[in-house]
Amino acid sequence: MINILGLGYIGLPTALMFAQSGIEVVGTDINEKLINDLNNGVLSIDEKGMPELFEKAQKNGITFTTKNVKTDTYIITVPTPYNDETKKINVDYVLSALNNILGVCENETIIVVESTISPGTIEKFVRPITDEFMKKNDKIIHLVHAPERIIPGNMVYELEHNSRTIGADNIDVANKVKDLYASFCKAEIVTTDIKSAEMSKVVENTFRDINIAFANELAKLCHEDGMDVYEIISIANKHPRVNILQPGPGVGGHCIPVDPWFLVGDYPKHTDLIRAAREVNSSMPEYVFNRIKEIMSENNILDFKDVGLYGLTYKENVDDIRESPTLQLLELMKNTVSDNMVVYDPFVTVKIHKNQKFNFEDFINATEFIVVLVGHEEIKNKFHKLKDKYVLDTKNIFNQNDIYKL
């Protein structure tokens, strides 16, 4: 039986996937409401494939609880934020899950950390605790790091089809965990040591952050000199060894804007490029704000309440607002007249801004200048409703001539 600790964006789909494949699974989370909802058949993540997966997992007997469960295989999928000042990883949630496991686990237990952790985290923070526990209790604990790679928006598909990495101290344990993941993962599963697994995960997200930062920097300089950044990227990408990502209003979510900081925090002397990329991406909401003001003054729009921000989530067609560029933009405008802008997102039904609309028509009717910050399908399908409006399209989803771009 596997006990999965932390039923968020990664833990829940992973738990369901194991259960669907016929493995006995218990999902644990400290959030009582979440556990009650799951036990009552209410899913916390709205994504394609999830309802069907949930149904199959329920049929196979998955259970959810706030308690610690006695077993020999645990997977930790809790958040790993960073400390704002030092930029170093905050492992509090991982260590709290670990201590809960050690309170109940059996001999020869395997503890898999799936949460993204900076290189050396297991060695520095986890192993001292398990070593001490093994000495005192005469029980053996095997530590494993098995980072995930799934992208919100396409998680069910990617769980099955993306390659994975298993980092362990010896090949027997690595193979045991590999077999477990192979119950649902059809792609290659690579085995390595723990630190290489930790580092490769952080490197993947840092690579993407740097690539997006390059695109964002290009967007700024192209705008200054009247060049079309999208056309230039598209032409450059025809080179067989060039693949530049897309500029945008900033980088959100809780992976890409977080993981590079772990490296900056731990290796400050060697991370000039990584830090600069983070800074470029973090500067984008402010850049968008300046573009909004430029366009307002060009068109004699005087009142911020005539401006509408479309999209609050961190990217298209998901309901996750963590670290979203729009929230970063709203933070910049807080306590100024610009905070009178109107906001709307079809995926966000809770009130997070004083001038929020909950219906597309109300949003459109209330505004004269629409700033598209997220390329949800909804706005792509309703482009015709924007025909009498000024539009700043920060995601390059429209190709009409009179649309403003970054």
For ligand SAJ, the binding residues (CB under 6 A) are: 116, 148-152, 204-205, 208, 212, 245-246, 248, 251-253, 255-256, 314-315
The tokens for 252 are: 């959100």
User: Whole-angstrom Cα distance, residue 371 to residue 284?
Assistant: 14
Nearer to ligand SAJ, 68 or 152 (CB): 152
Q: Which helix (H) or strand (E) holds 308?
A: strand 307-310
Query: Distance between CA atoms of 277 and 275, rounded to whole angstroms?
Result: 5
Rounded CA-CA distance 139/75 in Å is 18
Main-chain dihedrals φ then ψ at residue 166, nearest 5 degrees = -120, 120
Q: How far apart are CA 299 and CA 18, in angstroms?
A: 56
Q: Based on the residue annotation, tell me whether 201 is a catalytic residue of this protein.
A: yes
Catalytic residue among 105, 255, 357, 405: 255
Residue 61: count of CB within 10 angstroms of its CB: 11
7 within 8 A of 149, measured Cβ to Cβ: no
118 three-class SS:
coil
Residues 6+ apart with CB under 8 A from 249: 284, 285, 288, 325, 326, 329, 373, 394, 395, 406
**Burial class of residue 54 (count of CB atoms within 10 Å of its CB; 0-12, 13-18, 19+):** buried
CA distances from 133 to 54, 78, 96, 195 (A): 36, 21, 14, 22
Q: Reduced to 3 states, what is the DSSP secondary structure of residue 160? A: helix
Report phi then psi at 102, rounded to 5.
-65, -25
The verdict on whether 382 is a catalytic residue reads: no
Is residue 312 within 8 A of residue 326, CB to CB? The reply is yes
CB 222 to ligand SAJ: min, Å: 15
Smallest distance from ligand SAJ to CB 6, Å: 13
What φ, ψ does residue 60 adopt, rounded to 5°? Answer: -85, 5
Q: Which of 87, 178, 185, 201 is catalytic?
A: 201
160 φψ region: left (φ > 0), alpha (ψ -120 to 50), beta (else): alpha
Q: Give 40: exposed, middle or buried? Use CB within 10 Å, 0-12, 13-18, 19+.
A: exposed
* Catalytic annotation, residues: 201, 255
